[in-house]
Structure 1
Amino acid sequence: MTQTTSHPSIAILLTSMQPHQAVASNSLSLQGSKTDETFSNNLLLRPGERGEMSITLENLGSDAIRWKLEIAGNFPANWCQWHQQDFEEIAPKEKLSKVIGFLVPDNFFENQLALMQKPQLQINYQSTIYVYLEVSGSGQLAEYRVFDLFVRPLCSYLDFVPALYKEVDFVGRYLSIIEQAFDPAVQTIDTLWAYLDPITAPEALLPFLAHWVAWDIDTRWGIDIQRRLIRNAIALYRWHGTSYGLRFYLHLYTGLPLEQINIREIFERGFVFGATSIGFDSMLGGGRPYHFIVEMRPFSSEQIDETSVREIIERQKPAFCTYELDIINP
């Protein structure tokens, strides 16, 4: 798809850098359809993707000329990625190629501010390339070319239709509507596992997941703690009332490594005669049955809420057991 004309001193050739299959045309149209545009000498733009138009200048004269390009149109000025400050020289009989880039914002179709100024979103634009030649120290218009800019959404559904239908603008826009309507559901199905995992599920879904495992959410605790507890609720139920279950619960709540949480039960002998050491392998007055000591070594004193830790111990230990809590600060 090219456009070329000649001038006594310069010739211009425009070529769209889009792949042929990506540029729509009206080679196939639906009967009675008025929505298909002719896509010859045009540039098809996808939001967030750079589109390029190549322009070739040829000096037909026998003298060197100095040239300069200017691009104008009814599209936003920040779309065009072309900057030329001064005139440039082209030798006699020489050809020179330049690339003019266009970049449409990736939120073009989602930006509702564009609809506040017009009753409908504009998706077709016109661009004009002006070629100026330097004559007697000033720029003189030598040639100009007009081409269209067509902004269309990126549609992956076009990859599943015959190539013949890819050239029809109406088919592309129609499939884009279907894709935008069903794609959220397809993406949800593809990542359904993430919605069922408390670690990755949306926060609004956590009460539902907690209800699945009969877990009571304590709103005083942070959301990260709740995610860990809900995910391991079945394991906590299985080991409830054991030293392993209490140690694992404290690990999930505080985030401390298991190596920094120790539960020590007292099995020393009472008062005995013979070689012994008081406080190490024997004690005066006999042992304390069903008594244990919880030792925690946090990185800082602010990392542990003693009140919450005691509530967890009271809830997890057997009712007849007694305990001591020893928080060893660094």
Structure 2
Amino acid sequence: MRGGVEGLGSPYPIGKFLPSVYQEDDFTQRFTAGLDDVLAPAISTLDCLEHYLDPALTPEDFLPWLAGWLGLELEYQHDLARRRSLLAAAGHLYRKRGTAEGLREHVKLMFGGDVEVEDGTEVTVRTSPSGPAAAEGASVRGGRLLTVRITSTAPVDQAAIERFVAAAKPAHLPHTVEVIAG
């Protein structure tokens, strides 16, 4: 939560913008100086707004707010550097969303370790709706299961990975998650 910052002065003191009759009044200047102390953090925030939108520079307590704008979940993250890198890569990850490569990169950023994703989906080409499958080689990869394999030296919460993969993968694909201690 943002609040007063000790010693932060206002770049726009209210007392200087008052008519001269009030600029000479001691009580009015002290009163407006109190308002300056209250307004200084808000003015500072607005002056530095672009830094609040940069994942590398934003204050740590603003990361969940920024992640909410991007639709990212940071609940799995404990490491500040990993949360910042995930936010920085969000645009790139969304371009690859729904692909095996995108899922691999997203899981690697979220949980670390070496990640393999085996996309066992099958695509069959037919020339008519009721006709036989096209020539040999028309099917791409056999099987029907998405497998996410993580090799990590650090402890990894498999249940958290399961929840994340279930939310990030295409809904029609069943999946398994394998965690291998490295």
TM-score scaled by structure 1? 0.32
Q: CA deviation at 1:229?
A: 3.0
Listed one character per residue, the Cα deviations across residues 9-62 of structure 1 (whole Å, up to 9, x for unaligned) are xxxxxxxxxxxxxxxxxxxxxxxxxxxxxxxxxxxxxxxxxxxxxxxxxxxxxx
Amino acid at match of 2:106: Y
Distance 2:69 2:121 in 1: 40
Structure 2 unpaired stretches of 5+: 1-6, 8-36, 123-140
Q: Which moved more, 1:232-241 or 1:315-324?
A: 232-241
Identity of aligned residues (%): 26
Matches within 5 A, 1:103-182: none
**When you count helix as a share of all residues, which structure comes out higher?**
2
Rate the CA distance shift 1:197–1:255 in 2: closer, same or farther, 3 A. Answer: farther
Rate the CA distance shift 1:311–1:192 in 2: closer, same or farther, 3 A. Answer: same
CA RMSD, 1 decimal = 3.4
Question: Does the alignment pair 1:298 with 2:170?
Answer: no
Local SS of the residue matching 1:324? strand
Matches within 5 A, 1:127-276: 189=47, 193-218=50-75, 221-222=77-78, 224=80, 225-256=82-113, 260-266=114-120
**Aligned twin of 2:180:** 328
Q: CA deviation at 1:313?
A: 0.9
Q: CA deviation at 1:241?
A: 1.4
Bigger Rg, which one: 1
| Greater RCO (Cα-Cα under 8 Å, separation 6 or more) | 2
Q: CA deviation at 1:223?
A: 5.6
Match of 2:166 among 303, 310, 314: 314
Listed one character per residue, the Cα deviations across residues 186-241 of structure 1 (whole Å, up to 9, x for unaligned) are 8985x6654321232112322442343243553x5326244333333333332221
Distance 1:192 1:223 in 2: 24
Rate the CA distance shift 1:326–1:217 in 2: closer, same or farther, 3 A. Answer: closer
The answer on whether the counterparts of 2:151 and 2:179 sit within 8 Å (CA) in structure 1 is yes
Q: Which moved more, 1:320-329 or 1:207-216?
A: 207-216
Distance 1:322 1:206 in 2: 32
Distance 1:266 1:216 in 2: 26
Local SS of the residue matching 2:87? helix
Which aligned runs of 4 or more in structure 1 are off by greater than 6 angstroms? 183-188
The answer on whether the counterparts of 2:100 and 2:119 sit within 8 Å (CA) in structure 1 is no
Distance 1:211 1:223 in 2: 18
TM-score scaled by structure 2? 0.53
Local SS of the residue matching 1:327? strand
Structure 1 unpaired stretches of 5+: 1-109, 111-180, 269-286
Number of residue equivalences = 125
